[in-house]
A and B are shown apart, each in its own frame.
Chain A
Amino acid sequence: MVENRPVLNILTHVVLIVGVAIVAFPVYLAFIASTHDANAFARGLAPMLPGPHMIDNYAQMLTSGLSSAGAPPVWLMLINSTIMALTIAIGKIAISIISAYAIVYFRFPFRLLAFWMIFITLMLPVEVRIMPTFKVVADLGMLNSYAGLTIPLIASATATFLFRQFFLTIPDELMEAARVDGAGPLKFFRDILLPLSRTNIAALFVILFIYGWVQYLWPLLVTTDSRYYTIVMGIKRLAASADADPYWNLVMAAVMLAMLPPVLVIILMQRLFVKGLVETEK
Chain B
Amino acid sequence: MQTKRTIFPNKLLPYALLAPQLIITIIFFLWPAAQAVKSSFEREDPFGFRTTFIWFQNYTRLFNDPGYLNAAGRTAVFAVGVTLLSMGVSLLLAICVNRLLRSGRLYTTLLVWPYAVAPVVAGILWWFMFNPTIGIVPYLLDAFGYRWNHRVNGNDAMILVIIAASWKQISYNFLFFVAGLQSVPKSLVEAAAMDGAGPFKRFWTIVFPLLSPTTFFLLIVNINYAMFDTFGIIDGTTGGGPAGATNTLVYKVYADGFLGLNIGSSSAQSVLLMLIVIVLTVVQFRWVERRVQY
Complex interface bits, B232-272 against A, C-beta within 8 A gives 1, otherwise 0:
10011000000000000010011001100001001100100
Q: A125-B228, A168-B2 are in contact. Are A136 and B31 (CB under 8 A)?
A: yes
**Chain A residue at smallest Cβ distance from B251:** A127
Asked whether A44 and B133 contact (CB < 8 A) given A128-B253, A273-B112, the answer is: yes
Segment of A50-58, A59-67, A196-204, A230-238 engaged in the interface with chain B: A230-238
B139, B221, B270 — which one has the most chain A CB atoms within 10 A of its CB?
A: B270
Interface-central residue, A1, A8, A246, by most chain B CB under 10 Å: A1
List residues of chain A with CB within 8 A of the CB of B148: none
Residues in A with CB closer than 8 Å to B221 are: 281
Q: Which residues of A have CB within 8 Å of B281?
A: 122-123
Please give me the residue from chain B that is nearest to A106 by CB atom: B14
CB A252 to nearest CB in B, in angstroms, measures 7
A213 to B93, CA, bound (A): 27
Tally A residues with Cβ within 8 Å of B. 108
Chain A positions 151-172 with a Cβ under 8 Å from a chain B Cβ: 151-152, 154-156, 160, 168, 172
The answer to whether the Cβ of B39 comes within 8 Å of any Cβ in the partner chain is yes
A132 contacts B36, C-beta separation under 8 Å: yes
A127 and B228: CB pair below 8 A? yes
A216 and B117 contact, CB distance less than 8 A: no
User: Would you mind naming 14 contact pairs between A and B with Cβ atoms under 8 Å apart?
Assistant: A19-B89, A27-B125, A95-B20, A122-B281, A129-B32, A129-B33, A131-B270, A176-B6, A210-B116, A232-B120, A255-B125, A258-B121, A274-B112, A278-B176
Known: A107-B7, A155-B25, A273-B115. 16 other contacts (CB 8 A): A16-B96, A16-B107, A19-B93, A45-B139, A46-B131, A94-B20, A106-B3, A118-B25, A123-B277, A127-B228, A130-B253, A132-B31, A172-B6, A214-B121, A248-B128, A274-B175
Query: Chain A interface (Cβ within 8 Å of chain B)?
Result: 1-3, 5, 8-9, 12-13, 15-16, 19-20, 23-27, 29-30, 33, 41, 44-46, 48, 94-96, 98-99, 101-108, 111-112, 114-115, 117-118, 120-125, 127-137, 151-152, 154-156, 160, 168, 172, 175-176, 179, 184-186, 188, 210, 213-217, 220-221, 232-233, 235-236, 239, 246, 248, 251-252, 255, 258-259, 262-263, 265-267, 270, 273-274, 277-278, 281-282
